[in-house]
Amino acid sequence: MSAIVAGGRAWAAGLYWLGREGPRATARTARRLNRPWCVHHGGRTGFAAADAGESPEGPDRAGLGPAGLHPEGSGPGGLPAPAPALLEHLGGAFWMALVEGEADPSDAGGRRRFALVKARDGAVLADGDEVFDDRGAALAAFERARGLGWALHATPGLLPDLDGKDEVTPLEPAALAAAASRMGTSIALGRVRPAAGRMLVPPAALIGIAALIAAGALWLQRDTLVAWLAPPAPAPAPAAVLPEPEVSVSVDPAALIAACRRALAENPPFMPGWRIERIGCAARFADAEIVAAVPGLVGRAVLLVRWRLAAGHAGAVQRRVAEAHLGRRHAAAVSDGRAWAAAPLDPVLREADGRQPPFLALRRAVDRSFGARGALLGYAHDADGGWRIAIEDPGPLSRLAALAGGIGGLEVTALSRGAEGRWRLEARPLAPERMTASQLRALGVAADGSRVGAGIGSDDGKEVPHGTRHRGDS
């Protein structure tokens, strides 16, 4: 937690937001994260450290931000959190806001802090409440994250330094302070109350309960015992198996890019204390490491995100943060300063229409759509003699989906984004594949193109601590 001054008042920023739970679970989480202060807002709870905090630029040993905001040792109690005030003021479904703090008068260097808040569907993201001591670092973090389709907001003093500032709505600090005044103490930090002691059950009662459970289990198993004693029913004669008809399918490039964008919006990849190494979406997933852990993902359309532990962060603490953050993902693992998460995407296969333009005509269409907008294009033969097309473009994904979907005969098989911030599309001329309805169902696609089975938002999995976890789809 770090304090920031904006709109003439001090705020407690840099909280870690999780789903709201009962008092006992909240106390356990605060103890596990070593963040004994919290504030509740809607269905979320933000946790703050009392005497030690970290910003992306390094630890804040006092935990209270600029000197002079509070007496030493007073803690952040009573300070309002800016994230709920921004939610009250901005509303909206999917937005990101960068707030420039005012200079602290007690600091001879006139230091300012910057708060970056990200929210979706009226809730702050787990890692969506960050504090920066350096202006350049704050602006860089804002620019790195803006390609996901957020509604963008920033205080007026930051607008001249932002790219594409016409897409950014000015945010007045006075309006933020007014929202906090309306909400009053409901957004002020308070110390987490310790959990009440557990109720002890007498041993005799435990014995009685166990006896009742055993008797009930025996009664429920009576039908199984009778079935064991009865002779088995004769096996039916095998039915004649008719060959399944096949259909010619190919990857819909607009569907793949749109599914990737939708998955990133539903599960933003930002995680406190971790840096994104790579984001990738593949139409036919075949990563050997991940498939070995989760065989059910092979051949399906999948989003894969990889992280590396950021410098200056404690591995043991950040591992617990990552496990809590990734606990509801379809499949994830945290080990040795690295983490990954994978999830199936919506269907991206469609019935191929069979019309394939000549390669030179396809290349002219790609050059006209992407090259005219400054994308880097590459054409090369693969091992089978076919053509491979590489397209590098900063995005956003919504524009890339429209451009790729408008080129007949183009098949985008994968897209990825590394630390440099540019999207790379791996494409080829249309190469239809013959598949049966059962093969399509095995890939999670019904005969009509809709999705089969649990999706990204399902929550039917169980966590495997410190290792791989996945849901029962394999």
pLDDT digits (tens, 9 = 90+) for 225-234: 556 556 666 7
Instruction: Return the bridge partners of 4, or none.
Output: 11
Q: In the predicted model, is pLDDT for residue 472 greater than 50?
A: no
| Site of tokens 């840099």 | 14
* pLDDT value of position 205: 67
Instruction: Check: CB of residue 281 under 8 Å from CB of residue 370.
Output: no
Residue 23: CA atoms inside 13 Å, Cβ hemisphere, count? 8
Paired sense of beta strands 274-282 and 376-381, if any? unpaired
Q: In the predicted model, is pLDDT for residue 462 greater than 70?
A: no
Instruction: Check: CB of residue 96 under 8 Å from CB of residue 139.
Output: no
* pLDDT value of position 239: 67
Paired sense of beta strands 387-393 and 423-429, if any? antiparallel
* pLDDT value of position 207: 77
Taking alpha carbons only, the member of 138, 371, 431, 405 closest to residue 253 is 405
Specify the pTM.
Answer: 0.54
Q: In the predicted model, is pLDDT for residue 67 greater than 50?
A: no
Instruction: Check: CB of residue 266 under 8 Å from CB of residue 441.
Output: no
Peptide bond preceding 396 in cis form (omega within 30 of 0): yes
pLDDT digits (tens, 9 = 90+) for 408-446: 899 999 999 988 888 999 999 988 888 887 777 777 666
* pLDDT value of position 297: 87
Q: What are the extents of the domains in the chain?
A: 2-191
pLDDT category of residue 395 using cuts at 50, 70 and 90:
confident
Paired sense of beta strands 37-41 and 190-191, if any? antiparallel
* pLDDT value of position 460: 34
